[in-house]
Structure 1
Amino acid sequence: MNPSTPVSVLGAVVVAAVCFAIGGLNPATFVGRSQGVDVASVGSGNPGATNIGRALGRKWGIAVGVLDMLKGLVPTLVVLLTLGTWFALVAGAACVVGHIYSPYLHGRGGKGVATSLGAMLAVVPWAALAGLVAFLVALPFVKRLGDASVVATALLVVIGVVLAVRADDATERGVGVWLTLVSLLVLARHRRNILIWVTRLSG
Structure 2
Amino acid sequence: MVDANEDWGEDGDGATTARAGGSIPGEVALAGIGLGLAGALPLTVGGRSFFDVAWELLNTVGWAAVPMLLMVGAPFLLGLLIGAAGLAPGSQLLFLGISALVSLIQADLVYLALHLIGAEGPVAPYALIGFAAVTSVAMILGSAELRARGDGRRPPLRWWIRWGALLVAGLALWIRLQSLQGAPIGLAIDGALLSSVLIIAALRRG
TM range (shorter): 0.3 to 0.5
- What TM-score do the two structures reach when normalised by structure 1? 0.36
- What TM-score do the two structures reach when normalised by structure 2? 0.36
Higher helix proportion (structure 1 or 2): 1
